[in-house]
Amino acid sequence: MEQCASVEREVDKVLQKFLTYGQHCEQSLEELLHYVGQLRAELASAALQGTPLSATLSLVMSQCCRKIKDTVQKLALDHKDIHSSVSRVGKAIDRNFDSEICGVVSDAVWDSREKQQQILQTAIVEHLYQQGMLSVAEELCQESTLNVDLDFKQPFLELNRILEALHEQDLGPALEWAVSHRQRLLELNSSLEFKLHRLHFIRLLAGGPEKQLEALSYARHFQPFARLHQREIQVMMGSLVYLRLGLEKSPYCHLLDNSHWAEICETFTRDACSLLGLSVESPLSVSFASGCVALPVLMNIKAVIEQRQCTGVWSHKDELPIEIELGMKCWYHSVFACPILRQQTSDSNPPIKLICGHVISRDALNKLINGGKLKCPYCPMEQNPADGKRIIF
């Protein structure tokens, strides 16, 4: 990311110069126009009086022409300096980024070009749907002739419709969705429905004493959540005591905090995506962020591989030549490393559970077979290699 920051600094310098140049240019031209306007008025006055052009006025006209010429030359020089700053941005990009990024891996690692293009277009369309840019996604589908099934689009359309309503502080669509999916949300231990009812109750409290009876009537919606959210319900009921004095000046003023709306949007997005089998973050944004972390490491490894002339080290699609730490945020799947060979298992070398309960990789199992029998490397039990069972995490 240091390379990105370096380029960003150059871009910021150019933008600042553009801003300064624009302000200076506008001010210089306004002063020049004002000066020329005054001279024009004097010339018009002399012409009306029929007096010949005086030596003083001739001198002023010469000074005016010189001033116009100097101002234009100064602006042109400043503009030329901006061009050099823009070119420095290009040089910073060339200096900080490898133009041959595609050469980090061999072409054999990827699918065909047509397959690559289809996968990328699908990822972009999914990202646009997830960000709520529905019209842009539809336009991309038409121009790329990508056929997107309606069943694929429907969850994104529904999510964006509800999120737009929440951003406008309309709880109706979200409450309707939560009630219709109540059982599945309970299976996820989700508190979404309770939080939506709580927020609606708080909106009624914000209406003042006139909404007190309506708030008390609405409180019956908390009954199914009394066991799990007893403390929060007690706080909301206690706030009714201060309703006539004003909640904003009471110990319960935190209930009126606008952060509750941002929280409910995050909760709804997370639980709805989990319920519909969608990722909270789009795969494209996750892949891009991971690539920004992994790419510099892979480029260094590429240089080492070329230097040592061992180009055959990396030739498989399902593995990298080294382990790259992307952080906990990018941990999505369980990983098993064989304790014998100390290699991460894969589809071609899956983990195998022995009769004794110990787990090793298939490659390790094959290497430990002796005379048709297998002796567990951790306990003395002998067994038939065919009795081992593949484990799927």
Residue-by-residue pLDDT tens, the chain, 393 positions: 677 788 888 888 888 888 888 888 888 888 888 888 888 887 787 777 777 767 777 787 888 888 888 888 888 888 888 888 888 888 888 777 765 666 666 666 566 777 778 888 888 888 888 887 888 888 888 888 888 777 778 888 888 888 889 888 888 989 999 888 888 888 888 888 889 888 888 888 888 888 888 888 888 888 888 888 888 888 888 888 888 877 788 888 888 888 888 888 888 888 888 887 777 788 888 888 888 888 878 777 777 777 777 666 665 555 666 777 887 777 766 778 888 888 888 888 889 998 888 999 999 888 888 888 888 888 878 888 888 888 887
Of residues 317, 251, 287, the one with CA closest to residue 109: 317
**Gap between the terminal Cα atoms of the chain:** 34
Q: C-alpha 154: how far from its chain's center?
A: 22
3-state SS class at 333: coil
Integer Cα distance of 214 and 192 in angstroms: 22
Residues near 95 by Cβ (< 8 Å), separated by ≥ 6? none
- Rounded to 5 degrees, what are φ and ψ at 295? -60, -45
Residues near 3 by Cβ (< 8 Å), separated by ≥ 6? 96, 97, 296
Whole-model pTM: value is 0.55
Give alpha helix (H) positions in the chain: 2-49, 55-96, 113-130, 134-143, 150-167, 172-180, 182-187, 192-206, 212-218, 230-238, 259-276, 283-308, 362-368
Residues near 161 by Cβ (< 8 Å), separated by ≥ 6? 173
Residues near 83 by Cβ (< 8 Å), separated by ≥ 6? none
